Structure 1
Amino acid sequence: MNWRIAAIPASIVPFIIMFLTTKVSPQDIFAVGLVPFVASAVAAVARIMLQAYRFKYFVRKFIGYDVSSPGKTMAARLAGEFVTYTTPSYVGGEFVRIAWLSKNGVPTGKAAWVATMEIIADVFAVTILAFVAGALAISRGGTAIGVTVLVVALPTFAFWLILILYSAKRNLQVPKFIDRIARRFAKDKADKYITQANKALDDLCTMSRENFSSSKVIKPFAIGLALTFASFLAYGISFMVLADSVGVGIGMFDSLMAVAASNAIANLPITIGGSGLAELGIWAYISNLASVPNLAAIAADSKLSVIIAWRIATYHVPLVIMWIALMKLAIGKRETMVPADGEKKKED
């Protein structure tokens, strides 16, 4: 957990570099105004709450019952999102959610299925928006940013599409080379965990075949996909309200396309939570970048102050809420551990 906490100040490093190498100052950031900043942060929080509600909805539909109260289920989703936001390429939160569901009596395979459906909904929505944003940028002359967004989004979409089609035909297993490497270092533990992983994958693939062969999955997935698009609409609003506050004319659709491009670039596994990449992606899109940018041109661009304010409102503010949810989840886990006298403590 300590390295996760260290990830928060690490995500601020790109801002420090910008302040030192560009004409942007903290005063420029504050120039967006308190009301637009709060409105942007509220839109960002609305986004993660919609994602949390989608998780609760998927649990109810695919598990068949509510494993916990709506508040606790959504809090578990927010806790997992803290892990997602503090790793490169926005990964890791799925394991927190799977562990939480398993702790609440859900078989690992079914828990993994819920997490997988969330990933599929995210991938479909995000890549569709990225494809539209990339194509639109190219049509407007922004060749560099358009091609980059398409090149980044396409492999992600293709990977998950192939994985879905493959799992519908046969069971997935832990790759043999990973099995061999793990057994070299710790054979007994490797046997245990690889067996568990293969069992979970078997259950996941079984769930995949059962659900995709039935029309019953269409409605829940469609609603989940709609919630995902709605969450991205809130993300688009978060940038639009800040841009409008300083006279940068950008409509709702263009703002949505800009954050879609930013999200695609930020998914590259380079920096923690996409820090620096998200800002670069949205700057390149609204600047309609046609070629490799000149660093001097970036440093002198007046839009940087809005972009930094947007990043703080949409990344660091929600991160505080996610951290609180994670701490609550961690404290709850300790309170349910069996103490030395063998008597289980009562859960909150």
Structure 2
Amino acid sequence: AFPASSRISTSAEYAAGCGLEEIAIPASMLLNLTLCFSVEPFSQTCRLHLGLENARQEAVVREGDTFRSFTRLDRMGNTSRGDASVIHTTHILVNQRDERVFSLLKRSYYDPIRQPVERESKPDQGKNSSYFDGVGQQFIDQFQSVEKFPDAPLESLAVDDVILHPAVRPIGWTENLALSTIYRNTHPIHWDAQRYGRDGIVVCGGFVQALVFAICDRELRQVLDEVLERSSHVNTIAPEDRIGAVSRVLSVEQIDRHLEAVRIKTLGLKNVDIEKELVGVEIPADLLDDQERKPSEIEAICQAQCPTLSGKIALQAIRSIIRPRS
């Protein structure tokens, strides 16, 4: 749905040079399938999508594959105020060959849990429980067997590099409706303007994250694989809000002669002209460190140290990307 700059997802020749049979399906697409397939049976009553952890692809995806999604409730509890609950779940995407394709952990905000809140755990021993055992393959094993990666644009990245990604793009009304339909996201807050009004529609958090990462892709390419360590949403995005991004390189690790792992903190921004409003602006170090901060803490930092970003941060995310070495 969003532009990709890494050639493994756009060039059959490059993908073949990386040992794949066809171009790679973007990880963000698989992440959104994993999330959205669970909406109707499980999370259609969810108030807010709080965040994700340990999201990773576990098997090669081929054109024509079909998928199912399974959800396991890991733990739940009411907030200290008792006006809502936070539910932790594991989500698994499985293909027609019964292979785990993608997995992630999710935190969601729901209505309060009725008493008794503490309930005895009843582990699922049904036929689908085996999908939650262990993990699938690691993509890095496949890429480590490649002797030489095809030539492609590749910028060197170093620790503490701060990248102002120049692209800024909205998710429009039509695009938001189309994505909600394609990915079967049936939560009404994403499309029912009759109920919520046009001002009350919120773009799905998975779509926002996918666009933020697509915006980053040109400066971070060539991304062969990635693991989302954690992400969370700070301010909501409405249709037509313009989305941009700024990133900081947290670490660069040499895997072997051909590959490196780059750990990156990214902030997704809304309605900020990156090249005009942030050039020369000192972004507080606390916003770009490896800590996940509460929205209230982020806003306090912005108001005190960087008013330009006050109310403008939509997403915070840390991920590790695998790239050919430059």
* TM-score (norm: length of structure 1): 0.23
Structure number with the higher strand fraction is: 2
**Higher relative contact order (CA closer than 8 Å, sequence separation 6+):** 1
Larger Rg: 1
